[in-house]
Amino acid sequence: MAKSIILGLSFMGLIFLFASVSDAAPSNPKVLMKTTKGDITIELYPDKAPISVENFFSYVNEKFYDGTIFHRVIKGFMIQGGGLDVDFQEKSAKAPIQNEAKNGLKNKRGTLAMARMAEPHSATCQFFINHVDNPGLDYGQCADGWGYCVFGKVTQGLNVVDAIANSPVMTRNGMRDVPRETIKILSITLLE
């Protein structure tokens, strides 16, 4: 875990270094998510959700997401992935992180948020992309009051999100809303 924090902090340090060298306002980092349905470019918001972005980058840097799948797809709601491999085995995640849902960002169409269990501070590696506006997932609107932390937004490839969301689903291993076709995350990489 210490190694992943160092990698994340090093990345955050680079953002601040570039910001101080340039007169222009710093741009938010972006990642390219390559999937078997197409490419998705996502802008991340380290100023609003530093813990979540650092956590996400620690998994990206370790290539943890490469070969994982979108295992839960609900048209008109969201697409979830990042924690199971193609054999439907859960990958070993790091310790849960603090929920940053109180950051002012909303679960709107195309936003990237941390998936979690019922406990508000249980997010680890899994994430979801909102297929539609989901105000019921926002801080203060969820039954538990916490909601789900948004930490990025799709800037290119919303048509790919739609294609994934429109995939036929089934029940598998006791889980509902599993795409019939395996939809794999081939890689997630930081864009320069």
Secondary structure string (H, E, C) spanning the chain: CHHHHHHHHHHHHHHHHHHHHCCCCCCCCEEEEEECCEEEEEEECCCCCHHHHHHHHHHHHCCCCCCEEEEEEECCCEEEEEEEECCCCECCCCCCCCCCHHHCCCCCCCEEEECCCCCCCCCCCCEEEECCCCHHHCCCCCCCCCCCCEEEEEEECHHHHHHHHCCCEEEECCEEEEECCCCEEEEEEEEC
Range of the domain at 92: 2-191
Q: What is the pLDDT of residues 134-164, one digit of tens each?
A: 999 999 999 889 999 999 999 999 999 999 9
pTM for this model (two decimals):
0.87
Domains contained in the chain, number: 1
Which domain CATH number covers 21?
Answer: 2.40.100.10
Model confidence pLDDT, tens digit, residues 24-62? 556 899 999 999 999 999 999 999 999 999 999 999 999
pLDDT in tens, 82-116: 999 999 999 999 999 999 999 999 999 999 999 99
